[in-house]
Amino acid sequence: MATAEFAVVLPAVVLVLALSLGALGLAWDQIRCVDAARAGARAASRGDTAQAVILVASRAAPSGAEVSMSATGDLVRVSVVSRPHVAATLLPTLLRASSTATAVLEPSDGQG
């Protein structure tokens, strides 16, 4: 027999559970964004092409993440941004996982 208290508490429990799972998913995406940006910056510092850098970072990033690369002088910066999947309908513009990694280009030894 369902009581009025149970009927009131159940939606609150479901909401807390959904938000907790969304937060865990966002934290997992953040970890993957950090790893992807770091892998991309490492590849760029070795002198890989921009296409190869973006491919390396995209493989490590969460699905649907945006990967960008920029170079200034001897520095290269790789950024990865991912929108949350679970909480996207609740707060689509406020929540996102992102990371930027910067690396120094390694000098070329000229031996190809």
Summarised one tens digit per residue, pLDDT across range 5-27 is 888 888 889 888 877 887 788 88
pLDDT of 78 higher than 70: yes
pLDDT computed for residue 109 by the predictor:
67
pLDDT of residue 62 exceeding 90: yes
Residue 66 has a pLDDT of 96
Q: Cβ distance 12 to 70 under 8 Å?
A: no
pLDDT at position 89? 54
- Nearest Cα to Cα of residue 90 among 33, 3, 19: 19
| One-letter identity of residue 80 | V
pLDDT over threshold 90, residue 34:
yes
- Give domain limits for the chain: 4-104
